[in-house]
Amino acid sequence: MDNQEKRMLRLGDSAELGKRFTEEDIDEFARLTLDDNGMHTSTEVSRRGLFRRPVVHGVFVGSLISSVMGTKLPGHGTVLQEMDCKYTNPVYPGDEVTARVVLVSAEEKEKYYIASLEGICCNQDGITVAEATCKQLLLKRFFEIIK
């Protein structure tokens, strides 16, 4: 890519992405990750738990933040290096969750940047369900960060 094809980013840029979680999504995530914990997949088991009904896997919810970073901000060509995610409220089947990511800072290296981003996931009622701080590696051949 030449300089004209680079994606120009500024500190404070943000992007978001939403998803409605279904029971089928939970079942497929459990199948793919081998995490079939009954708190997510069984009404009978979850009824005896803290939330009294199945909840979406926290990592599945937090992955929306990674999805924003990989597809929108910074976007294609980035590599996730770190993600510290806190799950603050449950997400239930049928909930609509919106993940929003903000570019907070960037450390410039010779061939790449290490970008720090903050992410938040809120449900359809505006309740925060997950928060994360993340670091992404951005190659200079794909990105330029304007401070």
Helix H or strand E segment including 128 = strand 128-139
Mean per-residue pLDDT, 60-88: 96
Where do the domains of the chain lie, and which CATH numbers do they carry? 3-21+56-146 (3.10.129.10)
pTM of the model: 0.90
Side-chain-side CA neighbours of residue 37 (13 Å): 13
Please state, in angstroms and rounded to a whole number, the distance separating the CA atoms of residues 27 and 136: 29
- The tens digit of pLDDT for each residue in 21-47 reads 999 999 999 999 998 978 888 888 888
Please state, in angstroms and rounded to a whole number, the distance separating the CA atoms of residues 97 and 91: 8
- Characterize 41-80 residue by residue with b for buried, 16 or more Cβ atoms within 10 angstroms of its Cβ, and e for exposed: beeeebeeeeeeebbbbbebbbbbbbebbbebbbbeebee
